[in-house]
Structure formats: structure tokens, C-alpha cells
Amino acid sequence: MPAIQPRLIPGHQIVAEVVDGATAELPVGMRVGVSWMGGVDGDCWYCRHGMENLCDKPVFTGYTVNGGYAEYAVVRSDFTFPLPLGLDDEHVAPLLCAGIIGFRSLRVAGVEPGERVGLFGFGSSASLAIPILQSWKCEVYVVTRGESHRKSAASLGATWIGQEDDKPPVDLDRAVTFAPSGKVVVSALASLRKGGVVAINAIHLDQMPRFDYGKLLWGERQIRSVANMTRQDARDFLKIAKDLNIRPRITSFPLEDANKALLAVKQETEDGSAVIVH
Ligand SMILES: [Zn+2]
């Protein structure tokens, strides 16, 4: 994403304790989480219509304001969530963006219990969506490049797993794409039944290739993007994560090794989420 601050502390899935500015709901010492959505204006058309994820003046943690690669961070109390006990700090952190937005993607795709759902691309967000789909008795079809991602999907109990150009053996009701690739969106579309939905969980997409409207979109198929999240998404997902005991796979790095962590993510040398601990 283009830099909009000359200097910035990154980090958009913060787990910390309240040390100052306590409120009745967030007393000093409470363990809390802060996500990508760091604030909204509250009075634009979108905020007034229950779509704060689309706010015209959003604050993004670790992007428009400083984030969590730090000893202390200043955040808005109304965008700070108490965290469920039972999940330790390192395992709860990846839930705060990858988890919440993966969950929102399922909502945007309109997933109903028992449906056949495709996950195209398989990183942190997709792996956190699988247990939710399983709890809804959905069949999960995973298409992903990378042997380690396919192994990871297998260990989480996906119904079927294919490589980049494989087509699931059945027509899908819903699909979520997690790769920043328009080609993947077209593959997902090609796997849908009539009336099915593809939700694109990606801030960037290289380009949408030309595709055959009659074959791929006709029949009331839909393509939707997934943008940010609402606070309700966060609260709903954190409750489900607690109930299902969702535990992401992680690798921890000390704060001093933040650059090593970023490189590991870039080079895909770690299987799970990289978490920075101070
Ligand atoms: Zn707004």
C-alpha cells in the first residue's frame, strides 16, 4: 500500500494491557486487542447506515496511525476489544485481523450451514475460517499453490484439496479468494453453481483478466469484495473463536527481530502466522 506517513510504527493486530485511559468497560490491567480498524468518523453516510467498514474517514492501525511493534500504543477505547480468556497472547493476535476479516468474508459470501465452500489461496485468514465452516457443517474445498499450504489444509480437515489450476470436483455454493490475483478470482467463478457468490478477501488484486460473461457470471453469479470489518464482526468472531477454541499456528519473534519476521512472511518460510512479542 502507498506510504501515507513519513515514519510509521507498523503492526495491526495488537494484544496488550490497558495501562492508561481506562473506561468502565476497559479497566486498567485488562487484556485487550486492537485490530486493523482503528476508528471511524461515526457520521458519514456509511457509518450512519451500519456500514462502518466502508467509512469515508477511517483510521487504520499501523497504517494511518502508529501500530503495535512497540512497548506502548495509543488507541481509541471504542475500537478496543476485551479478549476472551483461554487464548494466550501470541495465539490471539492473528485472530484480530486475519481471523475477523476471514470471518467477514464468509458473511459477505453469504455462507449458509451445510453449503459447499471453496477457499482459494490458503494463508492465515483461510486457515482460521476452516474451523468456523466445519462448525457450520460445510464442506470445504481448498485450492492453493504451495505444498506446505496444502499440507496445512489437510491437517485442518478440508474436504478436498487441489493445486492452483485444479477445479473442485463439485459445483460450489460460495467461494472466498485470498490471493491477490485476478486469475484466482476467475478460477473461483468457474467453480460456482448458478446463483453462487465469490467474495474477494484482498486489498489488492493484480488485474481481473477478461472472462466469458455467459459461461462464468450469467446465471446470477456474483463477485463481491471484502473491505475491512465492523466492530460487530470483531465481537462476533472473537466469541466464535473462544467457543471453537480456534488456535492459529504461529512462530514468535522478539520485537528486536521484527525485520526477520517480515522477511519470513514475505518469503513464506514460516507455515503459520509470525507474531512479534515484547
Ligand atoms: Zn464514517
How many angstroms is it from 246 CA to the middle of ligand 1? 31
How many angstroms is it from 32 CA to the middle of ligand 1? 24
Query: Which residues make up the environment of ion ligand 1, defined by Cβ < 5 Å?
Result: 40-41, 44, 47, 55
> Which pLDDT score is estimated for 197?
98
Separation between Cα atoms, residue 82 and residue 17, nearest integer Å: 10
How many angstroms is it from 230 CA to the middle of ligand 1? 11
> Which pLDDT score is estimated for 146?
84
pLDDT along the chain (278 residues), means of 10: 92 96 96 97 97 97 96 96 89 94 97 98 91 98 91 94 94 96 96 98 92 96 97 96 92 94 87 89
> Which pLDDT score is estimated for 107?
97
Separation between Cα atoms, residue 99 and residue 249, nearest integer Å: 12
Under a CB-based contact definition with an 8 Å cutoff, are residues 141 and 172 in contact? Answer: yes
How many angstroms is it from 176 CA to the middle of ligand 1? 26
How many angstroms is it from 46 CA to the middle of ligand 1? 6
Residue 43 C-alpha cell reads as 457520521
3-state SS string for the chain: CCCCCCCCCCCCCEEEECCCCCCCCCCCCCEEEECCEEECCCCCHHHHCCCHHHCCCCEEECCCECCCCCCCCCCCHHHEEECCCCCCHHHHHHHCCHHHHHHHHHHHHCCCCCCEEEEECCCHHHHHHHHHHHHCCCEEEEECCCHHHHHHHHHCCCCEEECCCCCCCCCEEEEEECCCCHHHHHHHHHCEEEEEEEEECCCCCCCCCCCCHHHHCCCCCEEEECCCCCHHHHHHHHHHHHHHCCCCCEEEEEHHHHHHHHHHHHCCCCCCEEEEEC
> Which pLDDT score is estimated for 21?
95
Query: Which tens digits make up the pLDDT trace of 182-196?
Result: 999 999 999 999 999
How many angstroms is it from 275 CA to the middle of ligand 1? 30
User: How far from chain centre, in Å, is Cα 197?
Assistant: 18
Query: Which tens digits make up the pLDDT trace of 56-106?
Result: 999 999 999 999 999 999 999 999 999 988 889 999 999 999 999 999 999
How many angstroms is it from 59 CA to the middle of ligand 1? 10
How many angstroms is it from 56 CA to the middle of ligand 1? 5
How many angstroms is it from 40 CA to the middle of ligand 1? 5
How many angstroms is it from 78 CA to the middle of ligand 1? 14
> Which pLDDT score is estimated for 276?
95
> Which pLDDT score is estimated for 227?
96
How many angstroms is it from 24 CA to the middle of ligand 1? 25
